[in-house]
A and B are shown apart, each in its own frame.
Chain A
Amino acid sequence: MARMKFLCDADRCIECNACVTACKNANEVPWGINRRRVVTINDGKPGERSVSMACMHCNDAPCAAVCPVECFYTTADHVVLHSKDLCIGCGYCFYACPFGAPQYPKTTNFGSRGKMDKCTYCSGGPDGADGSAAEYAKYGSNRMAEGKLPLCAEMCSTKSLMAGDGEIIAQIYRERVLKRGYGSGSWGWQTAYQEAINV
């Protein structure tokens, strides 16, 4: 099976936030929750770069390691998913996540968080009901079951954000960097996969 990854080529990102919008629309995520976001570094200064970031579906995912109720699991495509039935909303995964991916629907009294929500790599939920309305309401779309990649990457206008098998998207990135002569790095890869794309 493929090892699915995200890769944001920050030298191509134009901070249009279309990936954020596409994600929200494809998965109907509630107000206040952003499974994907675009962060701009050195804003307005030389060397400004924008990076689109979501759950990186890490190797040995920190969220899964710290979860007190073991609600996380990894699919055959190495997508890190979690069960909202088991989640107790403790917030540990947010402290452990290097990418700020876990989101919580309500931060009302006493920090009661509600069930965690995060990028599912458009793989729906763990209940095995691929494409059902109940799964969609709980976890969002299941494009992977339809043979499609996550919508954020699929509709990126500059093809900055890539999704797919890690080796293939790394090769695309490598070719790009060689051709244009520069690259700001495979953002988050070292932290998520303990390997960067060296060109």
Chain B
Amino acid sequence: MFRTSIVKRLLLAVALSFSLHAAMAQPAPAVRQDAPVSGFNPDSVEVHQDELLANQRLITGRITLPDARARTLIQPDGRMWRDYQRSVVPWIAAVLVLGTIAVLALFYAIKGRIMIEGGRGLATIIRFSSFERFMHWLTAGSWCVLALSGLNMVAGRFVLLPLLGNETFSALSRLLKPAHNYVAFPFMLGIVLMLLVWLRANIPNQVDLNWFKAGGGFLHGDHPPAGKFNGGQKMVFWIVVLGGAAMAATGLTLMFPFVVTNIFGMQIIQVIHGLIALLMIAMMLSHIYIGSVGMEGAIDAMGSGEVDLTWAKHHHSLWVADELAKAEKSPPSPAE
């Protein structure tokens, strides 16, 4: 019994090996004209970098290093990112930053400083509490560091490098680069605080629509009614909050590179980060203009926190009415 089973198995094995042999003896696939000397043609399953690159954006493979980034062998998109970085972004930056400054200068030349109609009165009204001013300047101060250090990465080599020379410019950039990373955190804190404190006052409503229809009072000179924040200010608020959130999201991704995405994703995120930043810089330049040299009395709101009552009545009529009504209901307790 035992013996027969072994014989059977042996026979089966021999039969199998014969059939395998037969299969292998099939006529070989057509040999190329330039048949290799060795007779073995590893090219039968050809791999060629041109075909790989034609089908995918980057060539990746297996690697024995623990660094996942090293798996990417070739990523020609790097050259695209290079072209964008070198030829496109400096122009966008120049147009947005210098263009905005030029438009504001032109506006100033034509309209001049917008003065308080009827001049400053004696009475003032508290517009922003000390905490509101603190969070504004926390955001504004860190924004200045972020914007300048960011612009330095884009345009420093064209503007500052020829002035300062390689060593000095490099030393400056070496300070600004980590500053950009660290100051991002107070900036993000400022954005969160402003969102929490000012959200209620910045919900858009019909008053804002009318404010925009009236051109914000810039066109005719008569002031459309507005609450604590007018339509334009609400726009600035939402640009800062939403833009700031986008800057924080892309910025944190850049700060911890390759944690969430690969090289292609990092390139895209860097581009988005730069474009939103430049748009926000252009926007904030206008905000700085109208809050300082552009309008008499406006800076007081974020300076002492107390603004001229006449100014407030002109620009934020509904808010002043509310505040005055509140003050009548609960008169301040007399000093003891």
A residues lining the B interface (CB < 8 Å) = 11, 17, 32, 34, 37-43, 46-51, 53, 62, 65-71, 85-92, 94-100, 107, 110-112, 178-182, 184-188, 190-191, 196
Q: Nearest residue in B to A86 (C-beta to C-beta)?
A: B170
Task: Please determine whether A40 and B153 come into contact, CB atoms closer than 8 angstroms.
Answer: no
* Cβ-defined partner of A43 (8 Å) among B61, B65, B154, B170: B61
B residues near A32, Cβ cutoff 8 Å: 67
* Cβ-defined partner of B67 (8 Å) among A34, A67, A186, A191: A34
* Cβ-defined partner of A89 (8 Å) among B77, B156, B177, B263: B177
Segment with Cβ contacts to A, from B80-88, B104-112, B139-147, B196-204 = B80-88
Interface string of B189-233 (1 = CB under 8 A from A): 000000000000000000000000000000000000000000000
B residues near A40, Cβ cutoff 8 Å: 61-63
Task: Please determine whether A88 and B174 come into contact, CB atoms closer than 8 angstroms.
Answer: yes
Q: Nearest residue in A to B267 (C-beta to C-beta)?
A: A95
Task: Please determine whether B152 and A180 come into contact, CB atoms closer than 8 angstroms.
Answer: no
* Cβ-defined partner of B82 (8 Å) among A37, A66, A89: A66
Task: Please determine whether A100 and B70 come into contact, CB atoms closer than 8 angstroms.
Answer: yes
* Cβ-defined partner of A187 (8 Å) among B34, B74, B75, B181: B74
Most chain B CB within 10 A, of A48, A49, A68, is at: A68
Task: Please determine whether A69 and B73 come into contact, CB atoms closer than 8 angstroms.
Answer: no
A95-B253 Cα distance, complex, nearest whole Å: 14
B residues near A187, Cβ cutoff 8 Å: 49, 73-74
Task: Please determine whether B173 and A88 come into contact, CB atoms closer than 8 angstroms.
Answer: yes
The size class of the interface chain B forms with chain A is: 35 or more
Chain B residues 166-185 with CB under 8 Å of chain A are 166-167, 169-170, 173-174, 177-178, 181-182
Task: Please determine whether B47 and A184 come into contact, CB atoms closer than 8 angstroms.
Answer: yes
Task: Please determine whether A51 and B73 come into contact, CB atoms closer than 8 angstroms.
Answer: yes
A129-B128 Cα distance, complex, nearest whole Å: 62
- Distance in Å from the Cβ of A80 to the closest Cβ of chain B? 13
Most chain B CB within 10 A, of A53, A69, A86, A186, is at: A69
Chain B residues 41-63 with CB under 8 Å of chain A are 41-43, 45-50, 52-53, 59-63
Asked, given contacts A11-B42, A187-B74, A188-B74, whether A41 binds B59 with beta carbons under 8 Å apart, the answer is yes
Most chain A CB within 10 A, of B63, B76, B86, B267, is at: B63
Q: Nearest residue in B to A34 (C-beta to C-beta)?
A: B65
Q: Is B119 an interface residue (CB 8 A)?
A: no
A40-B65 Cα distance, complex, nearest whole Å: 12
Task: Please determine whether B181 and A112 come into contact, CB atoms closer than 8 angstroms.
Answer: yes
Asked, given contacts A96-B82, A184-B48, whether A38 binds B63 with beta carbons under 8 Å apart, the answer is yes
A184-B59 Cα distance, complex, nearest whole Å: 14
